[in-house]
Amino acid sequence: MKLPRSIAGWTIAVFGVLALVMGAVGLLWPEAQLRMLGFEVPATRAVGDHTGTFLLASSMAAFNMGVYYLLATVTEWRAFYRFTVVFRLVTFTVFTIAVLADIAPDRFFGVAAWEGLGAVATAVGLRLDARRGIPNGGIASSEGAGTAAVAEEGTGPAGAPPADAVH
């Protein structure tokens, strides 16, 4: 895999790797995942308790999300970076409310904090990249900081709108 070419790309790559790893942990060792999140792991589950099924589904989603984030990093898909800032802030808000409303254990706030800090880090990275001259739809040059090659129209993941059409 190519290394990220921008500050924002690094923030997306870190989140992608962690989502991929945590998804794999949830798939391979679900009890460890539950313990990390502060949930109890009873010796046996009651009839009708679908915690394992839900954990399987959410772990597979996290694994896939990690792959998506890494794909965005490799292609330097900056519109995706901006999109994640907004929705990670929404996730931070929802998870924080879940903890405050006693829907989730207190340790689950760590997940909320991770989402919020990740969103802020990506937003700061996007701002710093813009100051370095990397256009919002552009691709960071490997030639060095302060230079950028403008992305050709239509580049990015298949089916994505042209880079200059996303605001």
* Helix%, strand%, coil% for the chain, nearest 5: 65, 0, 35
Max Cα–Cα distance, the chain, nearest Å: 61
Residue 136's pLDDT band, with cuts at 50, 70 and 90, is low
Three-state DSSP at 121 gives helix
Tell me how far apart the alpha carbons of residues 103 and 141 are, in angstroms, rounded to a whole number. 46
Give the lowest-confidence range in 44-48, 50-54, 157-161.
157-161
pLDDT at 167 over 80: no
Q: 16 vs 133, which has greater pLDDT? A: 16
Looking at residue 45, its pLDDT comes to: 80
39, 105 in Cβ contact below 8 A?
yes
pLDDT at 147 over 50: no
Q: Could you tell me the pTM of the whole model?
A: 0.74
Give the lowest-confidence range in 12-26, 96-110, 122-136.
122-136
Residue 6's pLDDT band, with cuts at 50, 70 and 90, is very high
Looking at residue 13, its pLDDT comes to: 97
